[in-house]
Amino acid sequence: MDELNNKIEFKSDDFVLVQQGTRITDKKLDTKPTTFAKDAFKRFCKNKSSVAGAIIIGVIMLLTFLVPWLSTANITKVSAGEAFLAPKLFEAGTGFWDGTRKKTRVIYDTENEVPALSDKYTKATIKNSLVKLKIDEEPTLVDVMNPYGHGGYVMFATDVYAPDSVLLASQPVVIDRSGNYRLKVEFGNDEGILESQLGEYSVVLFDQEGNKLYYIRNFSRDYSDLDVNLSNILDRAGVDSVNARICFELKGSENSLQYILVKSVEVSADEGVKNSEILGEISFNDANAMVGVSDNKSNSYWICSGRKGVHACEVYYCDYVIDTYMLVYGNADLVTYSATELNDWISKGWCSYDYKVGPESFVRLTDDCPIDEVDSQVVMKVTKKLSSISGRGWNYRKYGYNKMPRFLLGTTASGHDLFKKAFAGLRTSTILGIFAASICFSFGLVWGSISGYFGGTVDIAMERFCEILSGVPSLVVFTLAILHFGNTFGVFLMVICLTGWMGTAHRTRVQFYRFKGREYILASRTLGSSDMRLIFKHILPNSMGTIITGAVLMIPSTVFTEASLAYLNLGLQGKESFGVLMSSHQQYLPLYPNLVVFPAVIIALIEISFNLFGNGLRDAFNPSLKGSE
Amino acid sequence: MAKYVIKRLILAFVTTFIILSISYVLCKLLPFDRPIGGDQQQIAYFDKQYSLGYVARFEVERDDYGPLLYKSPLERGRRNYYYQVPVLKQYTSWLKNICTKWDWGYSKSFQPNVSASVIIMSRVGYSIKLNFFSAILSVPLGILLGIWAALKKNTMTDHTISTLVMVFISVPNFVLISFMLRIFAYRLNWLPSTWPTDTASAGTKVLGYIIPVFCLSVGSICSYCRYVRAELCEILESDFLLLARTKGLTRKQAIVRHALKNAMVPIFPWILGEIIGLLSGSMILESLYGIPGIGKLFITVLNYKDFDILFVDMAILTTISTVSGVVLDLSYGFIDPRIRMGAKK
């Protein structure tokens, strides 16, 4: 209560007149003046997502114009050897974005100890390029001939559902009493085959005229192993020597195909018989090789009147990770190059070589030369001309690189750098978009201003025109225009502008309707402003934000339209086109997803960031938000 | 009101008619490609065209006529020469054929001598089915998401939904289907990578719908959601809802009885228009997933240069887009009593 009693007293001396004696004039404002643009920018910056969008757009646009210009990669000439390289950012072996490609369940070539890849690459190159290899521990049994398979059974079968017998006959071989000729046959019984289909067969000796000489095993279903001495049989038959074919005869059936399975045939004799070579050819213990591989003679040493297949041959599968760059550009141990290739290098001045002197005469002159040294050469016997050389070196030189190339997004089917290709296409789309946006903006602005400012009959007439024009689905316009005038850049620009300006026109018209009745316009008009002044000084600046936003958003929509048209086979021709790139890569989605995924990510990023950017821009330019926090 | 409806319908009809006429003439002005097939098929095609009035037939060669289209092989000393009829004459014959026989022309190279309506009818079912499922999925889902986002405005839920909507609305359809195929068809092997054939098992057929229906509905779901959210947010802040709360209704009651009902007024006609617009299908989706609908037909006949069928396909597109516009316009008036369509000041 003390405070209340303590009254504060003021005397007139306590007060001083602040401005006594000074002249009061207008003062400059202390706060900084702001313009519409500055204010809009300030408000735009407050919207974090829009700023992020703007930055992404900036980066993409920078890449769009810089990458095709700066990158030296060739994107016009087809280079099939470099096709489908994996994207590479880091060194191989890092496990992520490292230019390797993983494959599972690939047949393993047990002989060369590499996965069975295309013949384009030598085994040594494949071995060098492998990053990881995991071979199945257990072989897989397959019923078809496989060049990398082993073992199994020869599946000898009747050709059709018929009761006729079929024959599997060896080449004729001379058998005599003295040579101690033996025939060993291993049969298989029911592995994986219906038992009812295992047929009745005989093993029989035919003479060259086709007469049956002797039944070693008469028609039966006995699939136990056979081991007979043929010389003893001759002995019993009372013949000295015979030129006979060893035959398997299989009885047919009308109800089902009939099979027998033969695992191996071995015809042997004492040392020193003169036909031991052919005996070895007739013998086989690898059914897969016997049936399939053409350079294995035993195939042609058996004549078959039915069908001959492989059953349960062993194939090893493997999973591997391979460095695609090493595969294509890698260190190739002893690669054979033709004389034409060598002459080409010599004529380009890459190296010098004299085949008459031999491999020692090889001199590497420039870094472009694909090989470092020549190992051996082949000279044609008749013409005495060089046919080929074998050399060691880095393959990338063959493709004209000085060091191992690195493609950030991999390469396309034509061996082009996807990174450059994508951005070159994007550049076309963006330029198209910028042109289209500026044309549509200018025309739409004029149209919309006239329609909106003057209103009345003019407006109605112009609106009806727009209504009919916008009633035509844009796809129809595109299709007809492209069919009539071709799919060139100019036609695309024309067609996009043909309907594109209506968006700007509509927006402008709405803005004009919104502002032309305002008091400040009326005030200006009463002060004697002309229509021109009203439009350009008062209405347009206020409505510009919305209109510009709309025009800017035409750029991503053009990129999108161009890509969509390419998917409808109406893509832009004659220039690098993003849409054509994407749509033509769609077929590689299962095998080489990077070719689709990267462009897809780029276009999705563009659309998303432009959307964000557009939202921010719209808010920033909205004059009704001016000054509000 | 009735007057306005009639006026609007007539206007739409006239617009469609003008567009179709222009498209027809432009299609006919394209260079003429001979139909594929042997002489028998050629003669059958040209005789058909002659009887419909699109082609002129003479037994002697004429210099005073348009370009010679086809010369039939000599048969019993006679042969026919087929000439192109002036495009505007073809146009009148075309109008006559449609009005009297509902004859939209015949295929030339895609399925020679099959009528356009047969080709379209055999395909339109797939597109409609697909869009039907997509609509069933997208309308409730889109509206629910929109309501949810609006009710939780400026919370984490709202931000998540809005961001997702923004992302999915921006991503082009062909990008989406590429990713779906990559992940669910090729990587995980859960779904078929192309449209199952008619002979496939029922299970595969159902699985085959997942990717296309999803890709088709994502865009709609996002735009419904965005629209519903904006509309509902505006209404939630309006005075009448405050009044509803002050007179004692709970938040739930106020939202269900007042806000939702009013929000649906502009949304419903819009959705109706969208659904009709969906019928034209997605060409890119159909062609990428191999769905034999009218969208894929468009691309196929474009490749075959079978312009008669192409025109019919375009006519369907045009009609659908005009109809959806009319429906949108009219349903506003029917649903919202405050809007008097066509009313003067």
Antiparallel, parallel or unpaired: β A313-315 and A140-142: antiparallel
CA distance B9 to B12: 5
Residues in chain A: 629
In A10-101, alpha helices (H): 36-46, 48-70
Question: What's the confidence (pLDDT) of residue A441?
Answer: 93
CA distance A223 to A201: 9
Contacts of A158 (CB under 8 A, 6+ apart): A164, A166, A199, A250, A252, A253, A257, A258, A306, A307
| Chain A residues interacting with chain B (CB cutoff of 8 angstroms) | 467-468, 471-473, 475-476, 479-480, 483-484, 560, 563-564, 567-570, 582-583, 586, 589-590, 593, 596-597, 600, 603-604, 607-608, 610-612
- Mean pLDDT over A593-610 rounds to 90
Question: What's the confidence (pLDDT) of residue A2?
Answer: 59
CA distance B7 to A213: 102
Is the pLDDT at A349 greater than 50? The verdict is yes
Residue with tokens 């700023």: A51
Question: What's the confidence (pLDDT) of residue B337?
Answer: 61
Q: What ranges do the domains of chain B cover?
A: 36-103, 118-335
Q: What is the distance in angstroms between the Cα of A405 and the nearest Cα belonging to chain B?
A: 28
When pLDDT is cut at 50, 70 and 90, the band that residue A629 belongs to is very low
When pLDDT is cut at 50, 70 and 90, the band that residue A627 belongs to is low
CA distance A380 to B327: 83
Is the pLDDT at B345 greater than 50? The verdict is no
CA distance A505 to A492: 20
Question: Tens digits of per-residue pLDDT, A291-303?
Answer: 765 554 555 678 8
Is the pLDDT at B143 greater than 80? The verdict is yes
Is the pLDDT at A600 greater than 50? The verdict is yes
Ramachandran class of A132: left when φ > 0, alpha when ψ lies in -120 to 50, beta otherwise: beta
Question: What's the confidence (pLDDT) of residue A225?
Answer: 86
Mean pLDDT of chain A: 83
**C-beta atoms surrounding A306 within 10 Å:** 23
Percent of chain A surpassing pLDDT 70: 94
Residue in A with minimal Cα distance to B159: A49
CA distance B325 to B26: 24
Is the pLDDT at B340 greater than 70? The verdict is no
Whether the CB-CB separation of A215 and A200 falls below 8 Å is answered with no
Whether the CB-CB separation of A317 and A108 falls below 8 Å is answered with yes
- Mean pLDDT over B197-219 rounds to 86
Structure tokens at A60: 């993409």
**C-beta atoms surrounding B300 within 10 Å:** 18
- Mean pLDDT over A58-62 rounds to 94
The shortest CB-CB distance from A483 to any of B19, B30, B280 is to: B30
Four-residue CA torsion sign, A316, A317, A323, A327: positive
Closest CA to B126 of B289, B333, B259, B342: B289
Is the pLDDT at A119 greater than 80? The verdict is no
CA distance A156 to A354: 56
The DSSP code for A582 is: H
- Mutation for A interface: B178, B288, B328, most A CBs within 10 A: B178
Question: Tens digits of per-residue pLDDT, A545-597?
Answer: 788 888 888 899 999 889 988 988 888 888 888 999 998 998 888 888 889 88
Report CB contact under 8 Å: A468, B18: yes
CA distance A329 to A83: 12
ipTM: 0.84
* B64 phi/psi in degrees, rounded to 5: -90, 15
Mean pLDDT of chain B: 84
When pLDDT is cut at 50, 70 and 90, the band that residue A493 belongs to is very high
Is the pLDDT at A60 greater than 90? The verdict is yes
Question: Tens digits of per-residue pLDDT, B42-84?
Answer: 888 888 888 888 888 888 877 777 777 887 777 777 888 888 8
When pLDDT is cut at 50, 70 and 90, the band that residue B339 belongs to is low
**Quick one: angle between helices B173-180 and A554-567, nearest 10?**
60
Question: What's the confidence (pLDDT) of residue A439?
Answer: 94
Whether the CB-CB separation of A217 and A226 falls below 8 Å is answered with yes
Question: Tens digits of per-residue pLDDT, A153-189?
Answer: 888 888 777 778 888 888 888 888 877 888 888 888 7
Coil vs helix vs strand at B280? coil
pTM here? 0.80
Is the pLDDT at A269 greater than 80? The verdict is yes
* B316 phi/psi in degrees, rounded to 5: -65, -45
Question: What's the confidence (pLDDT) of residue A494?
Answer: 92
Class in CATH terms, B118-335? mainly alpha
Residue in A with minimal Cα distance to B167: A608
CA distance A502 to A497: 9
Residue with tokens 């209504």: A467
Three-state SS sequence of A440-467: HHHHHHHHHHHHHHHCHHHHHHHHHHHH
Coil vs helix vs strand at A404? coil
Question: Tens digits of per-residue pLDDT, B232-257?
Answer: 888 888 888 889 889 988 888 888 88
Closest CA to B153 of B144, B162, B141: B162
B141 touches chain A (CB under 8 A): no
Q: What ranges do the domains of chain A cover?
A: 83-136, 153-315, 331-398, 418-625
- Mean pLDDT over A98-108 rounds to 85
Query: Per CATH, is A418-625 categorized as 3.30.9.10?
Result: no
Structure tokens at A24: 């009061």
Which residues of chain B does A483 touch, with a Cβ-Cβ cutoff of 8 Å?
Answer: 30, 307
CA distance A616 to A612: 6
Question: Tens digits of per-residue pLDDT, A184-218?
Answer: 888 887 666 666 678 888 888 887 777 777 788 88
Q: What burial class does residue B166 get, using C-beta atoms within 10 Å of its C-beta: 0-12 exposed, 13-18 middle, 19+ buried?
A: middle
DSSP β-bridge partners for residue A321: A102, A132
Is the pLDDT at A532 greater than 80? The verdict is yes
Structure tokens at A493: 């620009």
Closest CA to A561 of A471, A470, A481, A492: A492
Is the pLDDT at B292 greater than 50? The verdict is yes
Report CB contact under 8 Å: A568, B298: yes
CA distance A323 to A564: 35
